[in-house]
Chains A and B, each alone.
Chain A
Amino acid sequence: MELGRLKSVFHDSLEIPKETPVSDLEYRSSAQWDSLAHMSLVAAIEDEFGVMLDTDEVIDLSSFNRARQILEKHGVVLAD
Chain B
Amino acid sequence: MLTDVFTLPQPDKEKQLRDELNALVSQHRQTCPPYARILDALGARGEAATLTELPWLPVRLFKTRKLVSVPEDQVIRVLTSSGTTGEVSRIHLDREAAAAQSRMLARTLATVLGSRRLPMLVVEGRGVVGDRRSYSARGAGALGLANFGRDHHWLLDADDRPDVEALRAFLDRHGHAPFLIFGFTFMVWTHLYEVAREHGLDLSQGILVHSGGWKKLADRAVDNAEFRRCFGVDTGLTRIHNFYGMVEQIGTVFLEGPEGGTLYCPDFADVIIRDPVTWQEAPVGTPGVIEVLSTLPTSYPGHVLLTEDLGVVHGIDDGHWPGKRVSVLGRLPRAEARGCSDTYPGGTS
Interface residues of A, Cβ cutoff 8 Å to B: 28, 31, 34-36, 38-39, 42-43, 46, 52-56, 58-59, 62
A58 close to B143 (CB less than 8 A): no
Closest to A46 in B: B150
Instruction: Provide the residues of chain A in CB contact with B110, threshold 8 Å.
Output: 55
Given A39-B146, A54-B115, A59-B102, 12 more contacts at CB 8 Å?
Answer: A34-B132, A35-B143, A35-B146, A36-B132, A39-B143, A42-B150, A43-B150, A52-B117, A53-B117, A55-B117, A56-B103, A56-B106
Distance between Cα atoms of A54 and B150 in the complex (Å): 10
In the complex, whether B229 has a CB less than 8 A from a CB of chain A is no
Instruction: Provide the residues of chain B in CB contact with A31, threshold 8 Å.
Output: 132
In the complex, whether B62 has a CB less than 8 A from a CB of chain A is no
In the complex, whether B116 has a CB less than 8 A from a CB of chain A is yes
The 10 closest A-B pairs by CB, nearest first: A35-B143, A59-B102, A58-B147, A54-B115, A55-B106, A36-B129, A39-B146, A55-B148, A55-B117, A59-B106
Interface residues of B, Cβ cutoff 8 Å to A: 76-77, 99, 102-103, 106, 110, 113, 115-117, 129, 132, 143-144, 146-148, 150, 152
Given contacts A36-B132, A59-B106, contact A54 B117 (CB under 8 A): yes
Instruction: Provide the residues of chain B in CB contact with A43, threshold 8 Å.
Output: 150
Given contacts A28-B76, A28-B77, A39-B152, contact A55 B147 (CB under 8 A): yes
Given contacts A28-B76, A39-B152, contact A59 B147 (CB under 8 A): yes
Instruction: Provide the residues of chain A in CB contact with B113, threshold 8 Å.
Output: 55
Smallest distance from the beta carbon of B122 to chain A beta carbons, Å?
Answer: 11
- Candidate in B102, B116, B148, B152 with the most chain A CB atoms within 10 angstroms: B102
Identify 14 residue pairs between A and B in the complex whose beta-carbon atoms are under 8 Å apart, listed by A's number: A28-B76, A31-B132, A35-B146, A36-B132, A36-B143, A39-B146, A39-B152, A42-B150, A46-B150, A52-B150, A53-B117, A54-B117, A56-B106, A59-B147
Smallest distance from the beta carbon of B76 to chain A beta carbons, Å?
Answer: 6
Closest to B95 in A: A62
- Candidate in A53, A55, A62 with the most chain B CB atoms within 10 angstroms: A55
Closest to B143 in A: A35
Smallest distance from the beta carbon of A53 to chain B beta carbons, Å?
Answer: 7
Distance between Cα atoms of A28 and B129 in the complex (Å): 16
Distance between Cα atoms of A35 and B102 in the complex (Å): 12
Smallest distance from the beta carbon of A6 to chain B beta carbons, Å?
Answer: 19
Distance between Cα atoms of A38 and B132 in the complex (Å): 12
Smallest distance from the beta carbon of A32 to chain B beta carbons, Å?
Answer: 10
Distance between Cα atoms of A35 and B145 in the complex (Å): 10
